[in-house]
Amino acid sequence: MLSEAARKKAAAAGKAAKAAPARGAGEVRIIGGQWKRSRLPVADKPGLRPTPDRVRETLFNWLGQDLTGWQCVDAFAGTGALGFEAASRGAAQVQMNEADAMLVAQLKAIAAKLGAANVTVQRGDGIAALKQCAAGSMHLLLIDPPFDGPFFQSALEAAARAVAEDGFIYLEAPREWTGEELAALGLEQYRHLKAGAVHAHLLRRKSV
């Protein structure tokens, strides 16, 4: 039989557990541009993994802060952290694609709240979205698929066709892709960063 003190301790622990946010839930913030510091909710979804602040900050330092006029696609949008970051920095068009219906609704609500006329959100397969891009039309393709899925090779193949001659492909993966693997796709590594379990690659067309 529990003592009065033990019962109070158990009750307090139960209240604390209820008050704690669900694992994986929370929010991230847009780092730069016109919507700097705007909050983006992070749903409690298996495999949902927003790009860390440090990685996003480094990526847009690599790209330069001004993306005015750029055509972009965020193929596996998730929280939209990458796509909204690009839109915040002046991209002419950011097409977000997400397979999960709940996340699609959330992305549309965020875009409406921000007044993001340069963002479109659609539900569908990320690789199919990349394949729908006209050849050589995209200045920035953002590829951050679930790490446990079989998406990387097919996504890079499609992105290599869609990227503009002076454009970039951002790839977030659980390992570093080798120069030989990228060369086989007609790509080369421009920048690379390892942050914890994340390997962030900025790729471009292989120079002749």
pTM, 2 dp: 0.86
Each domain of the chain, given as residue ranges in start order, spans 4-205
Residue-by-residue DSSP string for 107-142: HHHHHHHHT-TTEEEEES-HHHHHHHSPTT-EEEEE
Fold of 4-205: Rossmann fold (3.40.50)
pLDDT tens for each residue of 18-39? 333 333 458 999 999 999 999 9
Q: Region 179-192: what's the mean pLDDT?
A: 97
Residue written as token pair 């007044």 = 115
Report how far apart, in Å, the C-alpha atoms of 112 and of each of 35, 56, 67, 142, 155 are.
Answer: 13, 23, 21, 21, 28
Q: What is the pLDDT of residue 4?
A: 53
pLDDT tens for each residue of 73-85? 999 999 999 999 9
User: Within a 10 A sphere around the Cβ of 109, how many other Cβ atoms?
Assistant: 12
